Amino acid sequence: MRDRPEHRPALAGKAVFERPGIRLEILPEGHLLHVMGSIDAESLAGYLSAADLAQSSLRSAGFRQWFVVGDNKLAPVRIAALSSILQGKAFVSDQSHGRVRIALSGPHAAEILAKGTAVDLDPSVFPEGRSVVTLFGHVSLHLTCTGLERFELTVLRSYAEHLHEELEHLAAAI
């Protein structure tokens, strides 16, 4: 008998939701590391490269806080290697198990997001690569512009299903 249940993705079984002008999809549960410390983005990018994590996306998550995000799971030894490289400069907390990433894209993506958040999503204000911690209704999330008319929402695992259902509802109304 097993002592613990098998890992099941938070939104397992959810198909891609697509309508004219909008696409909602679940992104792979790869890695999401929370880095906190007295370090800037440029320096952290260099350390990521040294830890063989240059392919990961680096996103601002608040004052002196960063998310290192990627589609592939990381072995604990790779996370430990990054922690070792950053020792004395920053701390690393693996949040991969506790957060879910959802992509929302298409010409209506910003319109749908505007119904739940107060963030100005105009590309001149919120360009590709910009991230912000915000609310969508009552749910706290990390919002990133990943391309023209493409956004990624990172949410705590326990709120993922609710957020996904809310986005489907708003998208169906377009």
Topology of the domain covering 17-28+98-172: Gyrase A; domain 2 (3.30.1360)
For 171, half-sphere exposure in the C-beta direction (CA atoms, 13 angstrom radius) is: 23
Q: What is the pTM of this model?
A: 0.91
With bands split at pLDDT 50, 70 and 90, how would you rate the model's confidence at 174?
A: confident
Every domain of the chain with CATH number 3.30.1360.120 lies at 17-28+98-172
Where in the chain do CATH 3.30.70 domains reside? 31-97
pLDDT in tens, 137-164: 999 999 999 999 999 999 999 999 999 9
| Predicted confidence band of residue 13 (pLDDT cuts 50, 70, 90) | confident
Sorting pLDDT into bands at 50, 70 and 90, what band is 45?
A: very high
DSSP-assigned states of every residue in 69-129: EESS---HHHHHHHHHHTTTTEEEEE-GGGEEEEEEESTTHHHHHHTT------TTTS-TT
Q: Going by CATH, does the domain composed of 31-97 fall within 3.30.70? A: yes
19-30 pLDDT, tens digit each: 999 999 999 999
